Chains A and B, each alone.
Chain A
Amino acid sequence: MRILVVDDTEAVLLLISRFVEALGHVAIPARDGGEAIRIWREIRPDLVLMDMMMPVVSGAEAAATIKAEAGETWVPIVFVTGIGEESRLAEAIEQGADDYINKPVNLRVLEAKLKAFQRTLALNRKVREQSAKLADYYARAEEEKRVVQHLMEQMVNAERLSDAQLEYWLSPAESLSGDMIAAARTPGQVLHLMLADGIGHGLTAALNVLPLTQPFYSMTEKGYAIPDILVEMSKKVRQVLPIGRFVAVVLIAIDEANGCIEVWNGGMPTVLVVDDAGEVCHRWASRHLPLGITETHDVETVTERFYFDSPGTVVAYSDGLIEARSADGHSFGLPRLQQLLKVSARRRLAGVQAELDAHLVDTAHHDDISLVLGHFGARLRGVAAEEGRHLSPAVLSALLKVGEPAWQYALQLGAAELKYLNTVPFMMSFINEIRVLVPHQSDVFLILTELFTNALDHGLLRLDASQKQAPGGRERYLAARTRGLEQLESGRIDIELTGLRSGGQNVLKIHVCDTGPGFDWRAGVTATDVAHVQGTGLALVRALSSALIFRDPGNDVVAYYLLDTPPA
């Protein structure tokens, strides 16, 4: 230690200094309180050994100054006192001095005291170092949290959650949430919702759910269906997360045009459908393991469907909501949630929030809470009533003669490729790149989907559309379609997209042709309800496109779509 020795008696100063040096310390001498303060300011010794009674500035005054200036740093001050100085000594100790030793100085006692102070000083330094380190860690953790929070907000894309069909509420247990809600629409306007819950809460949970966002958004935008998106999500989660980490997730697709809701639930609480009155009319219990536990090829991607013909709400929530415990240990519970849904659709969310607040009072909830309400059926799409934007016969005949296309994209698929290729989403990644098509993605997607489905389902697979009308018919239809596709051995579908320019107008020509036997398209044209004859889709295509032309025997169809008017 560097020890400042202060005494106005030269002999004592010398004696103590020598002794201190003999013990292996460095002695720095000072002859009065003023000098002691000056040297302390300059050298900052580790410990001060000081006489009480000194000229100029007394020991007590010097001690007070040193203590005040040392601030957070602890500088032990030991007074060397003569007999009869007890009352002033008490005062000095009160002002911050640490110990005293009587004159004449017993060197053995002084040695013991210096050792004790050395130990305490070491301890003190360690504590200070650790608390500095701790403060450092804290600051770093806060900074990391801030970055992750920003990242989450960007990736979750709150903008898209502001969908008229969607209401949601997310209340994290910590500043970061391990629950995540995402929403996006396919080009065909199917609303995809995702509610995911990562293990635990806070930073690690938030990191667990992040890998899901990218496949969810990018694949939804290209028009992929839930099973395809799930496979990609599973791959991402398997690739990114360590063993023992997984994500419970529920994916919901609300297809207003077809009156169908499709759900896949892996490890989340039961998803409910309530009707207008709030009565539960369908449930999707968890049927699958959460993502990240099994290999991707072992994930069953089969969704369960619910068909609706009246308005209602899909309700999904995390376990944090029903397990939220009040101060007296009662959980919120599913029965209470179901009861709260029995109000008009748009009052449900606020009702649950208010009741949960009352339930928790000031108790903090220990898990992230989320609730998603997807309203459907409010604008059941009247396909038949939709106005088509038809081309004048003159423009149409001019189009038929146009030789040079601005661009062309052609695809010819045989049976082998049709089995596994997800054709329309695959083509959409091209369509999304063509500038004139971008504002019309949604319409183009619908036309393409309907014409392709028509060619495949009815042209090649020879499925009967009318069976869809029977109760449970749609499920049987889809099963027959899967079976037919597996057994398909021959046949071809050609698709051609062409950009044309005629009479100052940009027109998209969609040509779909299959090797099937065709169908009596004239019957479809004259019948007002074309849906029953040849699938639900042709009426929609007719409404969206400017002209629809069949060629005999009905396995070859061309749709013209006007690109200059804003989409319907």
Chain B
Amino acid sequence: MSPTVQIEGDVGRVVLSGQFDFSAHREFRQVCETLIADPVVKEVLVDFQNVNYLDSSALGMLLLLKEKIGAVNKNLALVNCRDTVRQVLEIACFGKIFTIR
């Protein structure tokens, strides 16, 4: 699990892969911090296209990210959530506080 970053215009995309759990903690945080600090980026997308599993600590990381992004007035969306990922997000009712596309 090594997150990669793509920047297109004012949209920064964090592409995750494999298992998204606590082991991804440090890298995920670093990647997100660069996007938060980048003045060009107005919206951050977390892309779950290649994620096949995420656990509750991953949900915690998303909450932290939401908090930080809210503090700098940028937008956040979770995109390409399929199968298991969608299921986990639904059980946690994250649709109530996140934009999921």
Contact = CB atoms under 8 A, between A and B. Distances in A.
Interface of A: 197-200, 243-246, 248, 266-269, 286-290, 293-294, 319, 367
B97 interface: yes
Nearest to A331: B84
Nearest to A286: B91
B1 interface: no
Interface string B78-101: 000000000010111110110000
A244 B60 contact: yes
B56 A286 contact: no
Contact of A269 (B57, B67, B91): B91
A248 B92 contact: yes
B97 A248 contact: no
A290 B64 CA distance: 15
B56 A200 contact: yes
A266 B96 CA distance: 12
Contacts of A244: 60-61, 63-64, 67
Given A244-B67, A289-B97, A294-B97, A199 B92 contact: no
A294 B6 CA distance: 31
Contacts of A267: 91-93
Contacts of B90: 286
A248 B96 CA distance: 15
Contacts of A287: 93
B22 A286 contact: no
Nearest to B94: A289
B97 A293 contact: yes
Contacts, number: 52
Contact of B57 (A200, A289, A294, A319): A200
B91 A319 contact: yes
A246 B91 contact: no
Contacts of B60: 199-200, 244-246
Contacts of A200: 22, 55-57, 60
B59 interface: yes
Nearest to A245: B60
Contact of A289 (B22, B61, B88, B93): B93
Nearest to B64: A244
Given A245-B60, A269-B91, A286-B92, 17 more contacts: A197-B56, A198-B56, A199-B57, A199-B59, A200-B55, A244-B63, A244-B64, A246-B60, A248-B91, A286-B91, A287-B93, A288-B93, A293-B63, A293-B97, A294-B97, A319-B56, A319-B91
Nearest to B95: A289
Nearest to A290: B92
Contacts of A266: 93
B56 A248 contact: yes
B67 A268 contact: no
A286 B60 CA distance: 18
* Chain A at the B interface: SS class: loop
Contacts of B94: 289
Nearest to A205: B56
Interface in B47-72: 55-57, 59-61, 63-64, 67
A162 to B, nearest CB: 29
Contacts of A198: 56
A293 B93 CA distance: 11
A289 B92 contact: yes
B97 A367 contact: no
Contacts of B97: 289, 293-294
A532 B12 CA distance: 65
Given A287-B93, A289-B92, A319-B91, A367 B55 contact: yes
27 contacts: A197-B56, A198-B56, A199-B56, A199-B57, A200-B57, A244-B60, A244-B64, A244-B67, A246-B59, A246-B60, A246-B63, A248-B56, A248-B91, A248-B92, A267-B91, A267-B92, A268-B91, A286-B91, A287-B93, A289-B93, A289-B94, A293-B63, A293-B97, A294-B97, A319-B56, A319-B88, A367-B55
A243 B67 contact: yes
Interface string B19-49: 0001000000000000000000000000000
B23 to A, nearest CB: 11
Most buried by B among A244, A245, A288: A244
B53 to A, nearest CB: 9
A472 B97 CA distance: 32
A485 B22 CA distance: 48
A290 B63 CA distance: 12
Nearest to B88: A319
Q: Which 9 A-B pairs have the closest CB atoms?
A: A244-B64, A244-B60, A199-B56, A200-B57, A267-B92, A289-B93, A244-B63, A286-B91, A199-B60
A47 B91 CA distance: 66
A446 B92 CA distance: 37
B64 A243 contact: yes
A426 to B, nearest CB: 32
B28 to A, nearest CB: 12
Contacts of A268: 91
A296 to B, nearest CB: 15
A287 B91 CA distance: 8
A243 B63 contact: yes
A76 B83 CA distance: 62
B63 A289 contact: no
A294 B63 CA distance: 11
A287 B92 CA distance: 8
A294 B97 CA distance: 9
Nearest to A270: B91
A286 B63 contact: no
